Amino acid sequence: MASVWNNRITVSVFGEAQGPAIGVTVDNLPPGECIDVQKLHRFMERRSPGVHEGGELCQIMSGILQDKTTGSPLCAFIQNTPSPAPALEALGRLPRPGHADYTGTLRYRGFNDIRDGGHFSERLTAPLCFAGAVCGQILERRGIYTGAHALEIHGIRDREFDFAEVTKEDILAVRYKSFPVISNRQGKKMLEDIRKAEEGGETLGGVVECVAVNVPAGIGSPLFDGIENTIAQLLFGIPGVRGVEFGAGFRTAKMVGSQNNDSFYVNDHGHIRTHSNNHGGILGGISSGMPIVLRAAIQPPASLGTVQQTINLSTMEEDSVKPEASALACTVPRAVPCIEAVVNIALLSHLLDYPHFTG
């Protein structure tokens, strides 16, 4: 399975949802970087707001000694808590709509672990969050901060970050909220909509907006090694991500060139900036020094609280799958730290090429 992302940093995610443990190995991190383990755990807790998942705390096996990276591969395990799962026989012949049961069975000739999604499970975002949290601490020591929020859930929309003027303080104001939105009023509406969906056995999707501030200009490369390329590849490693846009994104299709172009100026500190930020902080695959802005569309969870139609692979006749009692009505809040994490990994990977970054 393609579970290794290999760039300047290598991230390898392993395990299955119902296996004994899941985990991650991160290689080529700069040595001597201070890592606050308590902050790592606090970041991980954001992936499951309001829910204590047994074993969510990571056991660091290697790569950190006396709170500093050693330069050797950083490896961490997360113990899984066993939970009831449908019988393997039923899962093997009744693929669940919206899941990778059918396609995974075809790709791996029926030998893949299909319990609770196996290696395709949303559970695998936990070790990915751990890797991104480590990278985030390394970035923040250089003044680079990444933050995200639930911009939209089922048509209910939060305020956007200010593309051109978003600050570290704006990011930190949202980071540890129990529900990750800028406007608490809109957040209450979202939570009520999620509650109604859960009561009706339905699920909801939405949009996560993410920004990174203080990224120096000149990071990245054109064509296939641009910052957008790297971020997008990692984003699609998060189950449920169905679309990505940078800056003004699809809105630019409705603009004329004079509206889309961001004019340059020199600010009071002698730095080159742009009046607007439709380009989302990236031009030609390379950072411009403006905030990096992106949004990811998250589909509704495929596990429903209602009966769904499928095909019995043994008989090739129509059949049905029972409601999944443990189904989450909306994964958008969980996706917020996951998206921050992969953006951190992408940025740190590119910044390793930046002069004096590791000095």
Q: For the segment 220-236, what is each residue's pLDDT rounded down to a tens digit?
A: 999 999 999 999 999 99
**What digits encode the pLDDT tens for the residues 332-356?**
999 999 999 999 999 999 999 887 7
Number of structural domains in the chain: 1
Domain range for 234 is: 4-351
Q: Which amino acid is at 65?
A: L
**What digits encode the pLDDT tens for the residues 244-296?**
999 999 999 999 999 999 999 999 999 999 999 999 999 999 999 999 999 99
Mean pLDDT over the full length of the chain: 90
Closest CA to 114 of 84, 92, 135, 134: 92
CA distance 191 to 195: 6
CATH of the domain at 14: 3.60.150.10
| Helix spans in 13-124 (H) | 37-45, 88-93, 101-107
358 is a domain residue = no
Question: Are the CB atoms for 56 and 48 separated by under 8 Å?
Answer: yes
268 is a domain residue = yes
For the segment 123-134, the average pLDDT, to the nearest whole number, is: 93
249 is a domain residue = yes
134 is a domain residue = yes
357 is a domain residue = no
**What digits encode the pLDDT tens for the residues 101-112?**
888 888 888 777
Torsional sign, CA 62, 64, 66, 70:
positive
Radius of gyration of the chain (CA): 21
